[in-house]
């Protein structure tokens, strides 16, 4: 995919900010909102000259194919294509600068030192609770690893609001568990037996809920569709 990074720099090079490289594709303090869209006719006309949609499309393809490091920032910037403002464009320009700074990307699969972990799937899941300032929805993310390298990565805004960080994490873990079950079945169909796969989650409330076969009172408001993850845990 180095050729695609070169294509991005060729097609969008004039929009990459000058100066030294950046250490992150998006600053942790980066604030983006629908309220930052154009407020005057002049600002709207100026934004129409900016290739925001083209840039977002090229970066979206790149992150799906190879660059999990830009998955979250590209997904965040893609939310504002209908009413983009200069803060949204500057955030997108920083991602371009990141690619210019780090143009080469590789996924290196290697033989695990422990033979028991060979071809075994491992999952990591997290959620950023109520991170969208416009609708207060959370952003979920999960990564699937095999033999030391990621093979699947997801970052997207959740479809419904969560009333607590625990609920947001349960919803994120539910999405991860569906992918985990699909790829577990696929691996076994092609001859690679899977022991109980590990899913790493850092929220204590979510962990307590997921590992408890009963539905506790404080968590009964979570939609029943998400309870299937309990069955996945019980069945290994």
| pLDDT value for 167 | 86
State how far the Cα of 112 lies from the Cα of 110, in Å rounded to an integer: 6
| pLDDT at 8 exceeding the cut of 80 | yes
Q: What is the mean pLDDT of the chain?
A: 89
Domains of the chain (ranges; CATH) run 2-101 (no CATH), 115-235 (3.30.420.10)
Confirm if 163 and 221 have CB atoms less than 8 A apart. yes
DSSP H helices in the chain: 2-12, 41-48, 52-65, 71-77, 86-101, 165-189, 204-211, 228-235
HSE of 31, CA atoms in CB hemisphere, 13 A? 4
- Number of Cβ atoms within 10 Å of the Cβ of 21: 9
Name the band, by pLDDT with cuts 50, 70 and 90, for residue 206: confident
Confirm if 201 and 232 have CB atoms less than 8 A apart. no
* Cα 227–Cα 224–Cα 132 angle in degrees, nearest 5: 90
Helix (H, G, I), strand (E, B) or coil at 222: coil
| pLDDT at 62 exceeding the cut of 90 | yes
| pLDDT value for 207 | 87
Helix (H, G, I), strand (E, B) or coil at 120: coil
For the entire predicted model, the pTM comes to: 0.86
Encode pLDDT of 134-166 as tens digits: 999 999 999 999 999 999 999 999 988 888 888
Name the band, by pLDDT with cuts 50, 70 and 90, for residue 218: low
């Amino acid at each position: 995919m180095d050729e695609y990074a070169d294509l991005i720099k060729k097609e969008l090079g004039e929009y990459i900010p000058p100066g030294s490289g950046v250490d992150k594709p998006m600053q942790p303090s980066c604030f983006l909102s629908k309220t930052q869209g154009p407020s005057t006719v002049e600002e709207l006309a100026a934004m129409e000259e900016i290739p925001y949609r083209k840039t977002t499309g090229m970066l979206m393809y790149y992150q799906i194919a190879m660059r999990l490091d830009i998955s979250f920032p590209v997904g965040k910037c893609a939310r504002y294509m209908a009413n983009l403002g200069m803060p949204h464009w500057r955030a997108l320009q920083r991602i371009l600068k990141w690619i210019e700074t780090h143009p080469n990307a590789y996924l290196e699969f290697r033989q695990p030192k422990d033979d028991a972990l060979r071809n075994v799937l491992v999952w990591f899941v997290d959620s950023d609770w109520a991170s969208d300032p416009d609708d207060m929805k959370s952003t979920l993310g999960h990564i699937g690893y095999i033999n030391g390298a990621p093979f699947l990565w997801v970052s997207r805004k959740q479809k419904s609001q969560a009333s607590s960080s625990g609920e947001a994490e349960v919803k994120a873990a539910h999405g991860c568990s569906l992918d985990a079950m699909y790829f577990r079945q696929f691996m076994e169909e092609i001859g690679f037996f899977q022991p109980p796969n590990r899913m790493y989650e850092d929220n204590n409330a979510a962990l307590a809920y997921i590992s408890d076969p009963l539905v506790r009172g404080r968590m009964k408001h979570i939609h029943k569709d998400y309870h299937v993850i309990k069955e996945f845990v019980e069945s290994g």
